[in-house]
Every structure is written in C-alpha cells, then in structure tokens.
Amino acid sequence: MTAAFPARPSVARPEGEILHELTRSICPVCRSAIDAQVLLRDGEVFMRKRCPDHGWFEGLIYADARAYVEQAKFNKPGQAPARISTEVERGCPFDCGLCPEHRQHTCLALIEVNTACNLDCPVCFANAGAGFNLTLAEVESMLDRFVELEGHPEVVQFSGGEPTIHPELIAMLDAAQRRDIRFTMVNTNGLRIADGGPWFEEFAARRPLIYLQFDGLTDETYRTIRGAPLLETKLRALDRLAEADLHVMLVAAIERDVNEHEVGPIIEFGLQHPAVRGVMFQPVTHTGRHPDHDPLRRMTIPDVLRRIDEQPAGTFRASDFVPIPCCFPTCSSVTYAYLGDEGEVIPLPRVLEVDQYLDYITNRTLPSIDRDVLHALEGLWSAGSVPGEPTADRFACAACDIDLPALSDLARRVFMVQLRDFLDPWTFDVKKAMKCCIGILQDDGRMIPFCTYNTVGYREQTRARLAARRHGRALPLADRAATMAGVTS
C-alpha cells in the first residue's frame, strides 16, 4: 500500500535557530502581504518569509538578539491621534492612513515639497528626480490637516527631493510657523545653504531647525553615497549655519564597508562644531534608489552602537543609549549629554537610570519613579524631540536632583545622538509600522507612516498622482481606493 503522504527528506534549517515570533511583512518583489518569521540565530535577528509567487526572502533585522528581545519592555502604550483618515478595509499595511488600527499618533510629520534635487545620489530612499512641486496652497492645506489630525502638533519637517530648491520654501516655513505647530524643521543636503546670499538670509531669518545630511569627514564617503566630493561644501554650509546661529542635527546615512568607520569621528566633529546640537545615524535604507546590497549584511542599530563602542577614547558608549518608547523600541535609540566648558561630555543615562523610568512592563507602579522626571524623559525619548531650549528644559528637569538650571544657555550644552533604522522591503514588519510615529502628509489628507510609505508602494502612487495632477487639483480622498488597487496583487 502506498502512503498518501510519502516520507520526504526534512527541510534543513540552521542549527540553533529560534522562531521568535510570526508577523506580517511584504514580498520585496510584488509587495503583497505575506507571513514572516522573526528568527533568533547566532546572536542576531533575521526575518524569513515566503511569497507564493516569488519564493523565499531573508534579511537581517537587528544584530543583537538579546537586546532585541529585552527591549520589548520599552514599548510605551500608544496614544491615539485626535483624528484619523481611513477605515480598515484590506488590513495593514494597505489602509494608510492613519487607519483605526494604527497604535500611535504622529510625533513628527514630513511634507515632501518636491521630488527634484540638486544632487543625484546613488543612495536615495526618496528616489529623487523629476516628479512634482507642491504648491504653497497645497502645503497650507496639508499643514491645516496636520493640526486637525494632531490637535497641537510638535514638529513638521520639510523634505523632498531637496526642499531648499523649491521656489516657495520660505513662504511654506512662514505658513508652518503661523500655525499651532511647535517646530519647523528642514531636511537638506546643504548645497544651497553653502552658497549663502540673500536667499539664505531670508531662510535663516525663519530660524528653522536644520537636518543636514552629513555622512562623514572624507570625500571618499561622499563620492560613494552622494556621487560627488561634498566635504568642503558641507563644512561651508555648517559655518554659515553657525554664523546665523541656527541649530543643526547632522544626519549620517551609514552603509556597511563604506563609512562605518566615520561614526565616531562624526560624533567628535559634531561635539566641536558651534552649530551642531546633535547627530543622527541612519543605516542606509535599501528602498527607493540604492546600490546592490546583501540583505543579510545590512547595517543595523547594534552595528552602529558597536562602532561607537570601538572608538578609542570615545565619548559615548553603547550603554549610554536607550530605545525610544513612543515608536517601536528597536526602531530608534537616543542619548543626551551635557557638554561642559572644559570638554566634559556627560550622558544623562549615566546620571539617572533612564532605562528604569522608561520600562513600561515591569515598573508601572514603582513609586521611586518621579512623575515629573518621567514626563521630562518621555519628552526627550521621543521621535519628535528636537535640539534647542525645550530639550534643554526637559534635560534640566530630568536631572533636577542635580540642580541643573533651566537656562537658555543650557540649550547649547545639551547634545543629542540618535540612531534610527528604517524598514526596507526585506525587513518590513506590520507590528512596527502600526506603532510608527513619523508620518508623511499627503495632498489628499492622509498621513502615511514613514517606512510604509517608502516600502509598500505609497510613494510611487503619490508621485504618479501628483505628477499627473493639474496644478492645484489634488485627487480627493474618495478616489483613493482606485489608486490603491495598483499597490499589490
């Protein structure tokens, strides 16, 4: 008799691998939603998934399995936005957004004002190039929508493309600052700033916070990541920003084998430069435009932390960083330090037990947690935290038993180092997307979580819609279903 199910050779899986959890992701080829296994192996965390049409995919999520598992305790309960825009129809991640299933309000909203750029970088998650320019009227209505969705929003960031080449950027900054939005930020490559001139004077008078792309201190790095030797331009931009007394965060895209070794030097440079209030490290996201890469060897937050730890006489240590609890805790880590006149750099987590305060699972009833200190720390450990006086005030409050004064002078003395790892089509995880607190405002009134926008197909869809629109006539929300049909299947 023949068995209906003949015995077959079993599937060989790597020895010692732990199936940590099952979640939902997308197929990197067709972008349809598929189950994904999160695996712990050799001290690292991987995602493995199978698309019925395109086979198996596997990528590195996080290069420290122990930290990945332990950081679950930093997952702060989400806070609902004031309003949402869509219904649940097809399930995450195809109902953005935000839909009723989203677990967090938006700490930081981006408006991509254009797709054009004055650089042509080999690495660009926004895949900048020909496309669209938003009109001032469109941006005004998106800002109104942000206020409507959030109530009293914290931060809007103008991005692109390259926002500084948009002819109406300054009017857009004015529009943002007229509204009930606490901070205005511009994400820029700094080229136009480096040129200075009357435009820069006008721009600087608005006093936006500057997110300056700054990938290293060698032209070699810029040639590889940005396609041009830009170091001198970046330094010139920074000096102009210092003269104008604007607050700058250096934003470094870190790619394996390219500029890993620049992590420490970028921090030390930032500590010395008068304009720089902080550094943000972002492992290169392999979505949009990027060179060939090995998903099993991508940079992750623990890799950047190791580079920080390896600095001989480095100022920061990996243990100074604590995950940001408002979004999914493994997506970002941050630390803040006091900079003394004699060169002291004193990270706040060495002064008080920040990790004990931000432990949302074991600790909620612990009375040694001072509510004011917790509130201050939650303000600092937020994706919407920006350099400047509010940050300094929160820092002072958190370290209040040290008798730190809340002085405007302190704003220059508080330095932020943040690490943020975005999801790509190999690592996309709906569990993280549902907790995301960085959103991209859309012309049709939606707010789409950042990584979902970049990986699932929303970016392409918006670009096609905006490129095709007649000036000033955006596609109304009701027509969304028709365009969403193109996202998967």
Partner 1 sequence: MSATPPPVEACCALLYGDPLVELLAGESLHPGGLATSRRLLAAAGLTPGQRILDAGCGLGASARLAAFEFKLRVDACDVSGEAIRRARALADGAGAPIRFTAASVLELPFADASFAGVLVECVLSTTTKAAALREIRRVLGRGGKLLVSDVVSNGPTDVPEPLASVLCLSQAWRPGELEDEVASAGFVVERSLDETAGVSDLLDRLEARAGLLRAVRRDVGRPSWPSSALGGLVGQFGDAASLTDLMTEIRRLVRDGQIGYRALAARAI
Can you tell me which of 80, 402, 467, 481 binds partner 1, judged by CB under 8 A? 402
Q: Are 142 and 95 in contact (CB under 8 A)?
A: no
Can you tell me which of 15, 257, 292, 409 binds partner 1, judged by CB under 8 A? 409
Distance, in Å, from the CA atom of 29 to the CA atom of 426, rounded to the nearest integer, reads 10
Exposure string for 339-348, b = 16+ CB within 10 A, e = fewer: beeeeebbbb
* Smallest distance, partner 1 to C-beta of residue 148, A: 39
Can you tell me which of 180, 401, 467, 479 binds partner 1, judged by CB under 8 A? 401
Q: Are 165 and 114 in contact (CB under 8 A)?
A: yes
* Smallest distance, partner 1 to C-beta of residue 314, A: 15
- β-pair type (55-62, 276-283): unpaired
Distance, in Å, from the CA atom of 372 to the CA atom of 36, rounded to the nearest integer, reads 40
Quick check: 347 binds partner 1 (CB under 8 A)?
yes
* Smallest distance, partner 1 to C-beta of residue 44, A: 23
Stretch touching partner 1 by CB under 8 A, among 96-104, 106-114, 327-335, 401-409: 401-409
Cβ burial of 154 (10 Å; 0-12, 13-18, 19+) is buried
Quick check: 413 binds partner 1 (CB under 8 A)?
yes
365 or 489: CB nearest partner 1: 365
405 or 472: CB nearest partner 1: 405
Quick check: 367 binds partner 1 (CB under 8 A)?
yes
Distance, in Å, from the CA atom of 217 to the CA atom of 235, rounded to the nearest integer, reads 9
Can you tell me which of 15, 257, 292, 403 binds partner 1, judged by CB under 8 A? 403
Question: Pick from 236, 316, 249: which is nearest to 277 by CA?
Answer: 249
* Smallest distance, partner 1 to C-beta of residue 73, A: 12
Distance, in Å, from the CA atom of 41 to the CA atom of 138, rounded to the nearest integer, reads 48
* Smallest distance, partner 1 to C-beta of residue 368, A: 5
Quick check: 360 binds partner 1 (CB under 8 A)?
no
Can you tell me which of 2, 362, 471, 482 binds partner 1, judged by CB under 8 A? 362
Quick check: 365 binds partner 1 (CB under 8 A)?
yes
239 or 355: CB nearest partner 1: 355
Quick check: 356 binds partner 1 (CB under 8 A)?
yes
* Smallest distance, partner 1 to C-beta of residue 379, A: 19
- β-pair type (183-188, 209-213): parallel
Can you tell me which of 37, 135, 311, 363 binds partner 1, judged by CB under 8 A? 363
Measured over the CA atoms of residue 450, residue 454, residue 457 and residue 460, the dihedral's sign is positive
Quick check: 368 binds partner 1 (CB under 8 A)?
yes
Can you tell me which of 327, 399, 441, 475 binds partner 1, judged by CB under 8 A? 399
Per the structure block, which two tokens stand in for 175?
């529009």
Distance, in Å, from the CA atom of 109 to the CA atom of 408, rounded to the nearest integer, reads 26
Quick check: 240 binds partner 1 (CB under 8 A)?
no
* Smallest distance, partner 1 to C-beta of residue 374, A: 13
Stretch touching partner 1 by CB under 8 A, among 13-21, 324-332, 405-413, 450-458: 405-413
Q: What are phi and psi of 108, to 5 degrees?
A: -140, 125
Q: Are 190 and 162 in contact (CB under 8 A)?
A: no
Distance, in Å, from the CA atom of 39 to the CA atom of 427, rounded to the nearest integer, reads 12
Quick check: 174 binds partner 1 (CB under 8 A)?
no
Distance, in Å, from the CA atom of 278 to the CA atom of 273, rounded to the nearest integer, reads 10
Quick check: 277 binds partner 1 (CB under 8 A)?
no
Quick check: 404 binds partner 1 (CB under 8 A)?
yes
- Residue 115 CA: distances (Å) to CA of 127, 179, 292: 8, 25, 23
152 or 371: CB nearest partner 1: 371
Quick check: 351 binds partner 1 (CB under 8 A)?
yes
User: What sections of 71-226 are H helices per DSSP?
Assistant: 136-150, 169-178, 191-195, 197-205, 219-226
* Smallest distance, partner 1 to C-beta of residue 323, A: 17
* Smallest distance, partner 1 to C-beta of residue 369, A: 9
Can you tell me which of 29, 366, 467, 481 binds partner 1, judged by CB under 8 A? 366
Q: Please report, as a single letter, which amino acid is at residue 339.
A: L
Q: Are 466 and 440 in contact (CB under 8 A)?
A: no
Q: Which residues contact 223 (CB under 8 A, 6 or more apart)?
A: 229
Quick check: 218 binds partner 1 (CB under 8 A)?
no
Quick check: 374 binds partner 1 (CB under 8 A)?
no
Distance, in Å, from the CA atom of 61 to the CA atom of 283, rounded to the nearest integer, reads 11
Quick check: 70 binds partner 1 (CB under 8 A)?
no
Give all strands (DSSP E) within 273-363, no chain letters.
Answer: 276-283, 322-323, 332-339, 345-347
Give the total of residues touching partner 1 (CB under 8 A). Answer: 27
Q: Give the x/- contact pattern for partner 1 in 317-346, rule: CB under 8 A.
A: ---------------------x-xxx-x-x
Can you tell me which of 35, 120, 353, 372 binds partner 1, judged by CB under 8 A? 353
For partner 1, the binding residues (CB under 8 A) are 338, 340-342, 344, 346-347, 350-353, 356, 362-363, 365-368, 399, 401-405, 407, 409, 413
